[in-house]
A and B are shown apart, each in its own frame.
Chain A
Amino acid sequence: MLKVKNLSKKYEKVLAVNKASFEVNAGEIGVLLGPNGAGKSTTIKSIAGLLRFEGKIEIAGKENKSIEAKKAFGYIPETPALYESLTVWEHLEFVARAYGLKDWEDQANALLTRFDMDDKKKKVGKELSKGMQQKVSICCGLITDPKMIMFDEPMIGLDPKAIKELKEIFVELKNRGCAVLISTHIIDSIDEVWDKVLIMNKGEIVYNRTRDEMTASGESLEKIFFSVTEPEKEEESA
């Protein structure tokens, strides 16, 4: 569903992503792990078509900046970007119209209820707390019913109830055949749900395994994380 080949992105002099290649298949949940500044957000923004990049990115078999690809994916940014003067409901309506969705109202209501936002429909963007903004941002990404969806640090600022709902949503998306890519550095938060793990460090994908492959190696995710992101320290302690 999502194919990334030799993705590189340079900001001025910083090589933020260096020849990253990976795939996330339909019905699979991929997690993108890595320390701060590893290049996770840059990778996701490149896939979402927000940045210029080198390499090849295909979504549902189409080049990522094409209209067909844009219809197929959803993106929840690292920091929610809402319109200050639009209400929660107007945000959802705007996205629904822009994507040409039909009969989206019931689903919108259901999503808002799940995130305890049904009484906030008439609040405008600038009156929302940070967590509420994140919830609206998530709802906007989900309402289009995408075939592939990317979450950049989705748990940040959410309350425990919303985190629980979100995890359930990940599984529902997967069962529906959606390809899910989640960036995070809180390993515990997604430990139960992932199918494929990608670890980035200094712009490179340094580890790329499915859950079965990792289980076969018999090591914990946390251990692997530190050994691939801080190899020097590992040697020192050894």
Chain B
Amino acid sequence: MSSVFYLLRKSLKNLIKGAAKKPLVLIGYIFILVFIVFIIVASFMPSGMVRNGNPQLFKSIMILVFTVLYYTSLKLGIDKGSTFFRMSDVNLLFTAPIKPNHVLLYGFIKQIGGTFFMMFLAMCQIPNLRNNFKMEAHGVGVILLAVVAYTLAYPLLGMVIYSWSSKEKSRKKLLKRIFDIGAVVVALLFLLSVVQTRDFVSAMDRVFNHPVARYFPVIGWTGSIGAAAVGPLTTEFYVGAIGMLLLILGSAITLYRANLDFYEDVLEGVEFVEAAYKAKREGRNMTFNLKVKENVKQGLKGEGARAIFSKNLLELRKTSLFLFLDRMSLITIIASLVFRFVMPDEIGEMGLFVVLCFSVYLLMLFQIQGRLVNEMEKPYIFLIPASPFQKLFYVTLSEHLKNLADGCVLFISAGILFKGDVATVLACIFSYTSFGAVFVYNDVLNRRLFGWVHSKNMLVFIKIIASLLLLVPGIVAGVFVYAMTELQLLLILTMGGWSFILALTFFMFSAGILNNLESAG
């Protein structure tokens, strides 16, 4: 037991020491901390905006979010066994003469540390929620409580499920089928409600705010904890909180007490997690573990740097769902449209602008971990005998095309749904693609300027801040133009135009420095 605590203590100490030794990293962490505090403060400050988001809608969103989270993580758990262990634990701890249940306890304590990151992500959404929904004083607290409950419950449940299902193939099949049927049933119920009510919000309410959903074990419990953010602490909240507490304690004790031989169960999951961590460390988690389509009848074309472009297109074809549309495009498109739906109606004709802002925000988060990052980690782009200018142009061309295609799908549907005019839709597509280009070249430039920052997480953070700062002049100009003319079209065009010029300038700079970049490969 003491050896396990020794390990925990040392890891924590090294983490702190490591941060203290590198002033820049420390400043980064302090910055993140300030950022978090700022968000917390901002979320408690009264904001002047209209907050008439329907609290019922908030509750349904909570339950929907946790349904998706549990569904994806537990389904993965059937095959891989969710886990909070790392490869080093497997190699050193699992083979050491330590009781398995002590090892489990160790993993559990580590996982609690890991929840901080989830909390941070959740916190970033709070100001957003507060602008739309009227939250109670305990609002922030209960949302975080729900996140903690989720992060603790899913690995435990995953392990319980895995240890049961891994015994026989038929059990795995059965479980998977139950999951799939469940998903189909929920989707069908939702579609049916949309058809019946002809209203997105009421359909959400009917399905995800139904008492069965609210009291549904695990999913409903966690959702109901979070849902209490916009209302009093009701029976649902207490049922959810007590239910989750018992569930977490219960499964932990079961696993702890059982004469455990969980190492084998964990192993496969660890390998998967390890690969995922590696992808994350290298900042390419958005392209990690994509399904590759077989039988794509598309060859490579062109010579020299142009071959990079046709190779990128081929990769896109193989990993996308349809033409250029992939997982990221779908998330961006659906989330942006949903975002517009939940916004108060007062924004009225500014609808497309709102969609643009939200989709650009998502684009920024995704692109920072996207394909270009992946390419930069491989040596080919550096080795190929062609001018840096050509190489940079062709390696990023596919990215622009993809953004253009995504933008078309997104804004044409938004235009139809929210009755925008053609000119505004075109302006949105132009702006979206230009913003995308800024993020792409900003990435390359940041690599040169901050290449010596070795923490990939830190680099991601720098890139986000840099991207935001770069967009400020365009936003200011846009708001100015809008104040003068009150035309949404001009606002969008001004912002898009600024990004376009910025992207062009950055491209010129970046090409010159491709020769001066360093590859990790």
> Footprint of B on A, CB under 8 Å?
12, 45, 48-52, 65, 67-68, 70-71, 75, 77, 79, 81, 83-86, 90, 93-95, 97-100, 124, 126
User: Contact check: which of B290, B304, B318, B383 meets A49 at CB < 8 Å?
Assistant: B383
Pairwise interchain contact B304-A98, C-beta atoms closer than 8 A: yes
Pairwise interchain contact B292-A84, C-beta atoms closer than 8 A: yes
Q: Is B480 an interface residue (CB 8 A)?
A: no
Known: A67-B386, A75-B379, A97-B303. A126 touches B518 (CB 8 A): no
Complex CA gap A7/B175 in Å reads: 60
Interfacial chain A residues near B314, Cβ < 8 Å: 86, 90
Closest 3 CB pairs of A and B: A97-B307, A70-B385, A71-B385
Pairwise interchain contact B304-A100, C-beta atoms closer than 8 A: yes
Complex CA gap A83/B299 in Å reads: 16
B245-273 interface mask toward A, CB cutoff 8 Å, 1 = contact, 0 = none? 00000000000000000000000000000
B296-319 interface mask toward A, CB cutoff 8 Å, 1 = contact, 0 = none? 000111111111101100110011
Pairwise interchain contact B521-A124, C-beta atoms closer than 8 A: no
Contacts between the two chains (Cβ within 8 Å), count: 87
Pairwise interchain contact B377-A81, C-beta atoms closer than 8 A: yes
Interfacial chain B residues near A99, Cβ < 8 Å: 384-385
Pairwise interchain contact A67-B387, C-beta atoms closer than 8 A: yes
B: interface residue count bin? 35 or more
Within 8 A of A (CB), among B362-386: 377-380, 382-386
B383-405 interface mask toward A, CB cutoff 8 Å, 1 = contact, 0 = none? 11111000000000000000000
B272-309 interface mask toward A, CB cutoff 8 Å, 1 = contact, 0 = none? 00000000000000010010100000011111111110
Interfacial chain B residues near A97, Cβ < 8 Å: 300-304, 306-307, 310
User: Contact check: which of A12, A48, A85, A126 meets B382 at CB < 8 Å?
Assistant: A48
Pairwise interchain contact B378-A81, C-beta atoms closer than 8 A: yes
Knowing that A70-B384, A85-B292, A98-B304 are A-B contacts, what are 6 other residue pairs whose CB atoms are under 8 Å apart, sorted by A's residue number? A50-B382, A83-B311, A93-B299, A94-B300, A97-B304, A100-B385
Q: Is B505 an interface residue (CB 8 A)?
A: no
Interfacial chain A residues near B387, Cβ < 8 Å: 67
User: Contact check: which of A83, A86, A90, A98 meets B384 at CB < 8 Å?
Assistant: A98
Complex CA gap A98/B378 in Å reads: 15
Interfacial chain B residues near A84, Cβ < 8 Å: 287, 290, 292
Complex CA gap A51/B520 in Å reads: 9
Q: Is B515 an interface residue (CB 8 A)?
A: yes
Known: A85-B290, A94-B300. A12 touches B454 (CB 8 A): yes
Interfacial chain B residues near A48, Cβ < 8 Å: 379, 382-383
Pairwise interchain contact A85-B319, C-beta atoms closer than 8 A: yes
Q: Is B485 an interface residue (CB 8 A)?
A: no
Q: Is B519 an interface residue (CB 8 A)?
A: yes
User: Contact check: which of B303, B305, B308, B379 meets A50 at CB < 8 Å?
Assistant: B379
Pairwise interchain contact B380-A12, C-beta atoms closer than 8 A: no
CB distance from B451 to the nearest CB of A (A): 8
Pairwise interchain contact A50-B518, C-beta atoms closer than 8 A: yes
Pairwise interchain contact A98-B318, C-beta atoms closer than 8 A: no
Known: A94-B300, A97-B307. A51 touches B386 (CB 8 A): no
Complex CA gap A168/B438 in Å reads: 49
Complex CA gap A85/B371 in Å reads: 12
B56-90 interface mask toward A, CB cutoff 8 Å, 1 = contact, 0 = none? 00000000000000000000000000000000000
CB distance from B125 to the nearest CB of A (A): 31
Interfacial chain B residues near A52, Cβ < 8 Å: 516, 518
Interfacial chain A residues near B515, Cβ < 8 Å: 49, 65
Pairwise interchain contact A126-B383, C-beta atoms closer than 8 A: no
Closest to A50 in B: B519
Q: Is B6 an interface residue (CB 8 A)?
A: no
Q: Is B452 an interface residue (CB 8 A)?
A: yes
Complex CA gap A93/B311 in Å reads: 10
24 A-B interface contacts by CB (under 8 A): A45-B519, A48-B379, A48-B382, A48-B383, A49-B383, A50-B382, A50-B521, A51-B518, A52-B516, A67-B387, A68-B385, A71-B385, A75-B379, A81-B521, A83-B311, A84-B287, A86-B314, A86-B318, A90-B311, A93-B300, A100-B303, A100-B304, A124-B292, A124-B318
CB distance from B3 to the nearest CB of A (A): 28
Complex CA gap A48/B386 in Å reads: 14
CB distance from A72 to the nearest CB of B (A): 8
Pairwise interchain contact A86-B311, C-beta atoms closer than 8 A: yes
CB distance from B304 to the nearest CB of A (A): 6
Pairwise interchain contact A94-B307, C-beta atoms closer than 8 A: yes
Known: A65-B515, A94-B300. A77 touches B521 (CB 8 A): yes
Complex CA gap A12/B301 in Å reads: 41
Closest to B301 in A: A97
Closest to A93 in B: B300
Within 8 A of A (CB), among B411-457: 452, 454
Complex CA gap A67/B304 in Å reads: 11
Complex CA gap A133/B140 in Å reads: 49
Complex CA gap A70/B515 in Å reads: 12
User: Contact check: which of B315, B379, B386 meets A77 at CB < 8 Å?
Assistant: B379
CB distance from A155 to the nearest CB of B (A): 19
Complex CA gap A93/B299 in Å reads: 9
Interfacial chain A residues near B301, Cβ < 8 Å: 97
